[in-house]
Amino acid sequence: MKKIYIIGNGGSGKTTLAHFLSKDLFLPHLELDDIYWDNEQKKAYNVKRNEEEKGTLLSEFLKENQNGWIIDGVYEKEWIDPILKEVDKVIILMPNFWLSEWRCIKRNFINWMNGKRTGGLMSLYRLLKWNKRYRYQKLPIFIQKLKDEKVSFQIIYKVDLTEIKKELSL
């Protein structure tokens, strides 16, 4: 298994797990947020790229890394469909909901204290609201899509790298 897609709500540990697996497996890692948001624009915080640009950037990454990759991020739009066509395993992280919320608040505060743009309290509020909608409305629909398309997936409630590697036979 060389192509792994990790999803979960904000604060679930997607990027942290992806970094660990990427190092252990010597596979390139892509955060979908780097494609979705145009962080090159210093004029405004969280400027979205257009759908065509997102699709092009993702296609380039997949083409350059045909032997394997780890991608993390959760977007339900069509521009991520190429991931589902190539992926060997989707890992769905579902830690305790309140733990995820706390991690989002903590991360926002730490970024703010370190002088990084966070988008402020309104951005944090929108993320926490999105987390709830994702977990209870969008995730069940995505899981059904994975089942319909016969994509192998695993739901993980507690992130333990040793256990995950064993379960994935890595």
- Residue 38: what pLDDT? 81
- Residue 43: what pLDDT? 54
Q: What is the CA radius of gyration of the chain?
A: 16
- Residue 123: what pLDDT? 80
- Residue 48: what pLDDT? 83
CA 3/CA 88 separation, integer angstroms = 5
- Residue 91: what pLDDT? 94
- Residue 1: what pLDDT? 63
Angstrom CA distances, 73 to 36, 91, 169, stand at 10, 11, 23
The DSSP H or E segment spanning 153 is: strand 153-156
- Residue 41: what pLDDT? 59
- Residue 114: what pLDDT? 75
**Average pLDDT by stretches of 10, the chain with 170 residues:** 90 91 93 84 69 91 96 84 93 91 86 70 86 92 93 86 66
- Residue 7: what pLDDT? 95
Residues in the chain: 170
Question: Going from the N-terminus, what domains does the chain have, and what CATH number goes with each?
Answer: 3-96+138-167 (3.40.50.300)
- Residue 42: what pLDDT? 57
Beta strand 3-8 with 29-31 is unpaired
CA 70/CA 124 separation, integer angstroms = 26
CA 168/CA 170 separation, integer angstroms = 5
**HEC string for 43-108:** CCCCCECCHHHHHHHHHHHHHHCCCCEEEECCCCCHHHHHHHHHCCEEEEECCCHHHHHHHHHHHH
- Residue 109: what pLDDT? 83
